Amino acid sequence: MAQLKKLENFSGVKGPVLTIVMDGVGIAPANAGNAVYHAYTPTLDMLMANYPMVTLRAHGTAVGLPSDDDMGNSEVGHNALGSGQVFSQGAKLVSESIASGKMFTSDTWKNLTADCGTLHFLGLFSDGNVHSHIDHLKAMIEQAKKDGVKRVRVHILLDGRDVGETSALDYVEPFEAFIAGLRDDSFDIKIASGGGRMKITMDRYEANWAMVEAGWKTHVLGEGRQFASAKEAIETYRAETKVIDQDLPPFVIAENGKPVGTVEDGDSVIFFNFRGDRAIEISKAFDDADFDKFDRVRYPKVKYAGMLDYDGDLHIPSAYLVNPPEITNTMGEYLADTGVAQMAISETQKYGHVTYFWNGNRSGKFNDESETYVEIPSDVVPFEERPWMQCALIADKLIAALESGEYRYLRVNFPNGDMVGHTGNMLATQCSMEALDLQLKRILTVVDKLEGVAIITADHGNADEMYELDKKGEVKYNKDGTPKAKTSHTLNPVPCIIYDNFYRDAYSVKAQKPTFGLSDVAATTVNLLGYEAPAMWDESLIEIK
């Protein structure tokens, strides 16, 4: 049992403790591209002006990523928030496994490359290092050739979200040169299909299975509009649709009218994303013989593996190349074992973050009796068309839970700043922040009524930097004079505000430190609940007097 010890000098707040995650809301200079700054947010402004606030590192080594050039993301951010610790994360784990050669000596790799008709690689095609990295793909292709694989096909999901919004050819053209250098009489390798990551294959949380079905038809069945090359497909679609990379339609590479890379019996398939949320559904389609989410038309007998174990409890996929981090001693487990009633809530887009990722990549609850998880279904519409998303419905449910008196600790994620921020639409993102601000006011009024405390923070930046910036921090512009939209996360710190109108005499908020990170929130939370933080957690942001 992982039980918490009571503090000797503070019995904890009388009312509930609430963590509010404003997803994708970072702290950045007040320039033209800062949607958080430009939005009308009187509640957030009041909080930052009148309540103790520190900033937290939410990217790079502070959340277990390889370097401080790596953007944070919601998965690793919620791992850190929920566990109070920093663990080596996906990109770092995969890079270490490739560098050491451990991946290529694994039984999974040997099984995939032995006696396979065609070895297919499918995944996000960029160096964004959030879901995948093209260097991992290249290393596996080189090793496959060394190991005697004769035929390789690559299915590319265009990014434009974790990297520049129209950068696809910056990856495609060098990659074509790379595989041309490997191609010979004994090694047949080609790009076989592709499409934008928000159009096919990479849905998450079962929000839109039609995306996955479209991917299946494209990659596996070879159905769809044909082109002679990925470059031709990208240039043609850009001219026709005027959309950014993540929204480009699917395409199939064909020769003489025949797709060059359908998936057939006896083939092997590797999904080379390391991040789990957008990898689970396509993995189910390949792995599950009784799959019923859409008609696969044809279900080839293949050996399938993911880069990582995307869901450790449900074992999705059944085979994977790199063991995931073992995240233990999470706050959720400690609170459950201590008998603290908990509630977690968000809409579909981030529901898994306040549950699965918060609990250390663990499905299900630690204690069915003391924990309640609430999912508000997300709309299946472009986020820029309804930038308020479901924030009012989330707030309704959260307020009812607060007022019920059933829960000592609650956590909520509002996805607006992140999901709308990813569209690159500045006005829509401002609107999303304004909608969130209205809900903050409603919620904090109830927190006060119940004599509770709220920790208001974020998991990474996004809405704070909606335009690409040059090295001087100035906005970049397109040839037509419009600002160049940025659709990726940022490297900016995030706020952490402690909203407390009752107990400030019992503790002090520590002075800002450059080492403060998301993993410090867990210890802060249990201190406010009246408990000592476990020794393995990172430090609390408050000092009990």
In this structure, is residue 540 part of a structural domain? yes
Which residue segment(s) compose the domain that 184 sits in?
91-322
Give the pLDDT confidence of 236-289 residue by residue, as tens digits.
999 999 999 999 999 999 999 999 999 999 999 999 999 888 999 999 999 999
Question: What six digits make up the tokens of 164?
Answer: 């520049």
Instruction: Kindly state whether residues 142 and 192 are assigned to the same domain.
Output: yes
Q: Say if residues 533 and 413 touch (Cβ distance below 8 Å).
A: no
Q: How many domains does the chain have?
A: 2
Instruction: Kindly state whether residues 418 and 295 are assigned to the same domain.
Output: no
Instruction: Kindly state whether residues 149 and 98 are assigned to the same domain.
Output: yes
322, 339, 374 - which closes a domain: 322
In this structure, is residue 455 part of a structural domain? yes
- Give one DSSP letter per residue of 348-413, joined into a string: HHHHHIIIIITTTS--S-S-TTTEEEEEEPPPSS-GGGSTTTTHHHHHHHHHHHHHHT--SEEEEE
Peptide bond into 16 cis (omega under 30): no
Instruction: Kindly state whether residues 291 and 365 are assigned to the same domain.
Output: no
Instruction: Kindly state whether residues 471 and 367 are assigned to the same domain.
Output: yes
Instruction: Kindly state whether residues 344 and 371 are assigned to the same domain.
Output: yes
Lowest-confidence segment of 31-35, 93-97, 163-167, 309-313 by average pLDDT: 309-313
pLDDT band at 67 (very low <50, low <70, confident <90, very high): confident
Question: What pLDDT shows up at residue 309?
Answer: 86
- Give one DSSP letter per residue of 3-61, joined into a string: PPPBPSS----SS-EEEEEETT-----S-TT-HHHHS--HHHHHHHHHS-EEEEB-SGG
Give the pLDDT confidence of 320-335 residue by residue, as tens digits.
999 877 899 999 999 9
Question: What pLDDT shows up at residue 312?
Answer: 61
> How crowded is residue 208: how many other Cβ atoms within 10 Å of its Cβ?
16
Instruction: Kindly state whether residues 154 and 288 are assigned to the same domain.
Output: yes
Question: What CATH number does the domain containing 260 carry?
Answer: 3.40.1450.10
Percentage of the chain beyond pLDDT 90 is 89
In this structure, is residue 256 part of a structural domain? yes
Question: What pLDDT shows up at residue 276?
Answer: 84
Neighbouring residues of 114: CB distance < 8 A, sequence distance ≥ 6: none
Instruction: Kindly state whether residues 267 and 359 are assigned to the same domain.
Output: no
Query: What whole-number distance in Å separates Cα of residue 339 and Cα of residue 258?
Result: 62
Beta strand 188-196 pairing with 226-227:
unpaired
pLDDT band at 386 (very low <50, low <70, confident <90, very high): very high
Instruction: Kindly state whether residues 344 and 231 are assigned to the same domain.
Output: no
Question: What pLDDT shows up at residue 487?
Answer: 87
In this structure, is residue 4 part of a structural domain? no
Instruction: Kindly state whether residues 235 and 373 are assigned to the same domain.
Output: no
280, 295, 322 - which closes a domain: 322
What mean pLDDT comes out for the span 111-131?
95
Instruction: Kindly state whether residues 66 and 141 are assigned to the same domain.
Output: no
Q: Say if residues 65 and 79 touch (Cβ distance below 8 Å).
A: no
In this structure, is residue 7 part of a structural domain? no
Which one of 11, 74, 193, 432 is the catalytic residue?
74
Return left, alpha or beta for 330; rule: phi > 0 is left, psi -120 to 50 is alpha, else beta. Answer: beta
Q: Is pLDDT of 1 > 80?
A: no
Question: What CATH number does the domain containing 31 carry?
Answer: 3.40.720.10
Query: What whole-number distance in Å separates Cα of residue 336 and Cα of residue 372?
Result: 11
Question: What six digits make up the tokens of 86?
Answer: 């920093």
Quick one: which H or E segment has residue 347?
A: strand 342-347
In this structure, is residue 73 part of a structural domain? yes
What mean pLDDT comes out for the span 69-94?
90
Instruction: Kindly state whether residues 379 and 499 are assigned to the same domain.
Output: yes
Q: Which amino acid is at 476?
A: K
322, 346, 363 - which closes a domain: 322
Higher pLDDT, 305 or 75: 305
In this structure, is residue 3 part of a structural domain? no
74 in catalytic set = yes
pTM of the model: 0.75
